[in-house]
């Protein structure tokens, strides 16, 4: 039984100008096409509201990355409104199923798009998926703008849903789906898929402009490849905490794709799409077996694309770093998060001493890899003094090319979301924002303006002499004087540190 001929419109609800091919939507399209479905994608990436600050721009403005411009490549925001173009596509193509991929900070965008077609063919089922649908299910299932939710993985669920619709059956009993039919039918979780059993991603649904991704101050033709799914760790600020808990009876959410299967797809996609860079989806690249890393090092040179990885500091050894250098790794991001060992242990489930982090950074300083230190500020109960412990730890690192500083956002599915609600820092129905530039936290001891001021000055505190700290403190303030001081310091920082 197949779903031959069914028309499925996938909607990628993305933050504006964030240009990285999403593996999840690409896999759903591949699964549907294998069933004989016709698939199209409505992608919101190039719809940019007036005066909107993109994530890459926010990071450049806070000295975390080098500035780049898509306009140099002739890539510009679309002239119309996303809602108007979406309505026209639905009216013209007449899909039989509309699937929205939604993350928390695009929740409102998804609602706006769904409302734009509310009066057109209301019988067409609308399903929401991705991590926001999974972990905010109870809070959003009542919204009239959706008919179903996918809680958990989507590949099996969307295949079975497509088969049911193609054969004229009312969807029911489909694992992973919450279906509204007067009440809400909450179906059980399906077994986790084996990554090697999935088809290769379908990239034909994306515009050519979607392959251009800024990395290290340059824009590359980039492909995204799923090396593993989930993470073996359950950090309390991360959605993998919720995924591992959701799939606890199946042994957790983490799985790995075999290296030969990964490399085969990369070789194919490099040839077909002229790739210049590879983005490997691996939450902790080096947390795996030695045999797997050695196999990657043996096979990957045939791909020959520069790539960037993320890793935990406790996974860094000289042997592993040498392996990364040997197979063409461009750079590495290390999760520091907080400079307080006790705070990390209690509020993050990350029990690694500061000295071990410094040693890991020392090993990386001796390599040719570009190194970024990933920090987060504004955690529940975190104080200004704790943030300065993070700054002080970063100052101990011998060489870091990029000092990254995100703002904590209480995403559904994380343990810290539960703590933020319990402390009264957010209300239960609030939707979190973009970790690169905003916070919804209302802590009596640390205001949103203070958090944002510390974020924009974080690299200055790390890289400039302590004698400059009183001046940097004045640059935190969102005032004309603060902005003037910050602009001067930012120019000095850029000239010194690139």
Residue 107 and residue 249 in one domain: no
List, for residues 57-108, the tens digit of each pLDDT value: 999 999 999 999 999 889 999 998 999 999 999 999 999 999 999 999 999 9
Beta-strand ranges (E) seen in 24-153 are 38-43, 97-101, 126-129, 148-150
Is residue 18 included in any domain, yes or no?
A: yes
Q: Find the helix or strand (DSSP H, E) in which 404 lies.
A: strand 402-407
Residue 83: other Cβ atoms inside 10 A: 17
Compare 419 and 72 and report the one with higher pLDDT.
419
Residue 361 and residue 254 in one domain: yes
pLDDT at 399: 92
4 pLDDT band, cuts 50/70/90, is confident
Residue 354 and residue 455 in one domain: yes
Query: Which residues is 311 bridged to in the sheet?
Result: 334
Which of 354, 351, 386 shows the shortest CA–CA distance to 373?
354
160 pLDDT band, cuts 50/70/90, is very high
Is residue 308 included in any domain, yes or no?
A: yes
Which of 163, 136, 162, 139 shows the shortest CA–CA distance to 151?
136
Q: Is 53 helix (H, G, I), strand (E, B) or coil?
A: coil
pTM to 2 decimal places: 0.96
120 pLDDT band, cuts 50/70/90, is confident
Cα separation of 79 and 48, whole Å? 9
User: Of 160, 186, 212, which residue sits at a domain end?
Assistant: 186
Residue 241 and residue 347 in one domain: yes
What's the average model confidence in pLDDT over 333-354? 96
pLDDT above 90 covers a percentage of the chain that reads 94
What's the average model confidence in pLDDT over 313-326? 96
Residue 151's domain comprises 7-186
Is residue 281 included in any domain, yes or no?
A: yes
Cα separation of 195 and 411, whole Å? 26
Residue 162 and residue 308 in one domain: no
pLDDT above 70 covers a percentage of the chain that reads 100
Residue 39 and residue 165 in one domain: yes
Residue 19: other Cβ atoms inside 10 A: 20
Cβ burial 398-414 (10 Å sphere, 16+ → b, else e)? eebebbbbbbbbbbbbb
| 234 touches 284 (CB < 8 A) | no
Q: What is the DSSP letter of 302?
A: G
| 329 touches 307 (CB < 8 A) | yes
List, for residues 227-272, the tens digit of each pLDDT value: 999 999 999 999 999 999 999 999 999 999 999 999 999 999 999 9
Q: Is 245 helix (H, G, I), strand (E, B) or coil?
A: helix
483 pLDDT band, cuts 50/70/90, is very high
What's the average model confidence in pLDDT over 285-304? 96
* In the predicted structure, residue 363 carries a pLDDT above the cut 90: yes
Cα separation of 236 and 325, whole Å? 32
**Pairing assessment for the beta strands 7-12 and 97-101 based on DSSP bridges:** parallel
Residue for token digits 């986790």?
192
What's the average model confidence in pLDDT over 439-466? 97
Residue 154 and residue 90 in one domain: yes
Cα separation of 136 and 150, whole Å? 11
Residue 152 and residue 255 in one domain: no
Q: What is the CATH number of the domain that holds 86?
A: 3.40.50.280
pLDDT at 1: 59
Residue 136 and residue 281 in one domain: no
Which token pair is 41? Answer: 């994608």
List, for residues 14-34, the tens digit of each pLDDT value: 999 999 999 999 999 999 999
| 141 touches 178 (CB < 8 A) | yes
Query: Which residues is 43 bridged to in the sheet?
Result: 12
Q: How many domains is the chain partitioned into structurally?
A: 2
Listed in sequence order, the residues at least 6 apart from 65 whose beta carbon sits closer than 8 Å to its beta carbon are 56, 59, 214, 217, 402
**Pairing assessment for the beta strands 218-226 and 228-229 based on DSSP bridges:** unpaired
Residue 158 and residue 242 in one domain: no
Residue 447 and residue 330 in one domain: yes
Backbone angles phi, psi at 432, to 5 degrees: -70, 160
User: Of 171, 186, 201, which residue sits at a domain end?
Assistant: 186
Cα separation of 62 and 458, whole Å? 8
pLDDT at 182: 87
Q: Find the helix or strand (DSSP H, E) in which 138 lies.
A: helix 137-140
Is residue 153 included in any domain, yes or no?
A: yes
What's the average model confidence in pLDDT over 131-150? 96
Is residue 408 included in any domain, yes or no?
A: yes
497 pLDDT band, cuts 50/70/90, is confident
Is residue 349 included in any domain, yes or no?
A: yes
Listed in sequence order, the residues at least 6 apart from 138 whose beta carbon sits closer than 8 Å to its beta carbon are none
217 pLDDT band, cuts 50/70/90, is confident
pLDDT at 98: 98
Is residue 130 included in any domain, yes or no?
A: yes
Cα separation of 84 and 47, whole Å? 11
Listed in sequence order, the residues at least 6 apart from 192 whose beta carbon sits closer than 8 Å to its beta carbon are 153, 247, 250, 253, 255
Is residue 220 included in any domain, yes or no?
A: no
pLDDT at 187: 98
* In the predicted structure, residue 362 carries a pLDDT above the cut 90: yes
Q: What is the CATH number of the domain that holds 305?
A: 3.80.30.20
Say which range, 3-7, 150-154, 292-296, has the weakest mean pLDDT.
3-7
Residue 173 and residue 238 in one domain: no
User: Of 137, 163, 186, which residue sits at a domain end?
Assistant: 186
Cβ burial 438-476 (10 Å sphere, 16+ → b, else e)? bbbbebeebebebbbbbbbbbbbbbbbeeeeeeebeebb
Q: Find the helix or strand (DSSP H, E) in which 455 lies.
A: helix 448-463
Which token pair is 241? Answer: 């905490």
What's the average model confidence in pLDDT over 144-150? 95
Q: What is the DSSP letter of 101?
A: E
**If you average pLDDT over every residue of the chain, what do you get?**
96
């Amino acid at each position: 039984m197949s779903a031959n001929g069914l028309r499925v419109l996938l909607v990628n609800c993305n933050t504006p100008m964030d240009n990285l091919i999403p593996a999840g939507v690409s896999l759903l399209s591949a699964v549907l096409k294998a069933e004989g479905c016709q698939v199209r994608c409505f992608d919101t990436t190039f719809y940019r509201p007036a005066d909107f600050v993109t994530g890459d721009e926010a990071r450049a403005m806070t000295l975390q990355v080098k500035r780049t411009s898509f306009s140099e490549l002739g890539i510009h925001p679309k002239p119309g409104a996303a809602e108007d173009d979406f309505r026209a596509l639905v009216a013209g193509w007449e899909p039989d199923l509309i699937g929205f991929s939604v993350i928390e900070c695009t929740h409102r965008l998804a609602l706006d798009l769904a409302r734009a077609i509310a009066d057109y063919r209301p019988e067409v089922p609308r399903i929401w998926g991705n991590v926001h649908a999974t972990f905010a299910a109870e809070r959003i299932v009542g919204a009239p703008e959706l008919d179903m939710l996918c809680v958990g993985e989507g590949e099996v669920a969307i295949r079975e849903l497509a088969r049911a619709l193609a054969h004229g059956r009312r969807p029911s009993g489909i694992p992973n789906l919450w279906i509204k039919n007067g009440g809400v039918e909450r179906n059980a979780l399906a077994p986790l898929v084996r990554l090697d059993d999935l088809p290769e991603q379908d990239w034909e649904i994306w515009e050519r402009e979607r392959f251009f991704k800024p990395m290290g101050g340059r824009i590359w033709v980039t492909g995204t490849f799923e090396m593993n799914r989930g993470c073996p760790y359950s950090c309390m600020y991360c959605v993998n905490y919720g995924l591992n808990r959701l799939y606890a009876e199946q042994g957790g959410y983490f799985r790995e794709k075999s290296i030969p299967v990964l490399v085969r797809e990369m070789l194919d996609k490099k040839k077909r799409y002229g790739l210049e860079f590879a983005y490997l989806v691996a939450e902790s690249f080096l947390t795996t077996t030695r045999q797997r890393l050695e196999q990657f090092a043996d096979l990957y040179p045939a791909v020959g694309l520069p790539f960037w990885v993320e890793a935990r500091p406790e996974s860094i050894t000289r042997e592993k770093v040498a392996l990364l250098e040997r197979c063409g790794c461009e750079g590495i991001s290390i999760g520091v998060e907080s400079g307080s060992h006790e705070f990390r242990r209690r509020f993050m489930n990350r029990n690694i001493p500061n000295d071990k982090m410094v040693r890991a950074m020392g090993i990386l300083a001796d390599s040719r890899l570009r190194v970024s230190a990933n920090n987060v500020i504004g955690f529940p109960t975190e104080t200004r003094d704790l943030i300065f412990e993070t700054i002080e730890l970063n100052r101990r690192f011998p060489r870091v090319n990029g000092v990254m500083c995100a703002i904590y956002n209480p995403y559904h599915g994380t343990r810290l979301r539960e703590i933020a609600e319990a402390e009264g820092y957010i209300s239960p129905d609030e939707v979190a924002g973009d970790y690169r530039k905003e916070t919804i936290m209302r802590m009596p001891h640390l205001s949103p303006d203070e958090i944002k001021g510390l974020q924009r000055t974080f690299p200055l505190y790390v890289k400039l002499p302590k004698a400059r700290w009183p001046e940097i403190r004045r640059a935190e303030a969102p005032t004309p004087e603060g902005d003037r001081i910050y602009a001067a310091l930012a120019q000095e920082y850029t000239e010194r540190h690139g």
